[in-house]
Amino acid sequence: MADAKRAERPLSPHLQIYRPQLTAITSILTRITGNGLIVGVVLAVWWLLAAAISDAHFALADAVATSWFGDLVFTASLWAIWYHYLAGLRHLYFDAGHGLDIPTAEKLGWACIIGSVVLTVITILLVQ
C-alpha cells in the first residue's frame, strides 16, 4: 500500500472560518428559552406554596423573589416568554410553507430577537 501524505487540516470548519448562521442561533435560542422558563416557574410556584404553608416560609420565598436575583429571573422569564411566543409564530409561518428562503428566514429571526426585547421593555413599562 502506498504511503499517502495526509494534509494537516481540521476535520470540520474551524471557528475562524465558520460563521454561525442566524437561523441556527434562533433555533437553539428557542430551545434554551423554553427550558429556561422552568426557572421562573419554579420560583413562582415556590412563592405561592410558601404563602400557603406558613408566614416564615413565605418571608423567605418573598425575600428571594423580590431580591435582585428574583428580579433577574422574572425579567429573563418575561423576555423568554416573548421570544418563545414570537418564535412559535415564526414556525407557524414556516409550517405554512412561507418564508423558507434564507433572506426571509434571517429577517424573521432578527424580528424575533428585536421584537422580544421591545415587547419585554414595553411590558415592564406598562406593569410599573
Q: Is residue 67 part of a domain?
A: yes
Residue 45 belongs to a domain: yes
Residue 99, pLDDT score: 93
Residue 3 lies in a domain: no
Angle, helices 68-95 vs 102-127, to 10°: value is 140
- State the Cα–Cα distance between residues 119 and 86, nearest whole angstrom: 10
Domain with residue 32: its CATH number is: 1.20.1300.10
Domain count, the chain: 1
3-state SS assignment for residue 3: coil
For residues 36 and 58, is the Cβ–Cβ distance under 8 A? no
The answer as to whether 8 is a domain residue is no
Residue with cell 421562573: 40
What does pLDDT average to over the chain? 91
Residue 15 counted as domain residue: no
- Read off the pLDDT of residues 63-100 as tens digits, 9 standing for 90 and up: 999 999 999 999 999 999 999 999 999 999 999 999 99
pLDDT of residue 72: 96
Find where cell 415592564 sits. 124
DSSP of 50-73, one letter per residue? HHHH-HHHHHHHHHHHTSHHHHHH
Residue 4 maps to a domain: no
Is the whole-model pTM more than 0.95?
A: no
In 3D, which of 75, 123, 99, 125 has the Cα closest to residue 26?
A: 99
Nearest partner of 62 among 47, 74, 43, judged by Cα: 47
Residue from 75, 82, 85 nearest 128 by CA: 75
Domain with 47 in it: 22-127
Q: With respect to residue 73, please indicate whether it lies within any of the assigned structural domains.
A: yes
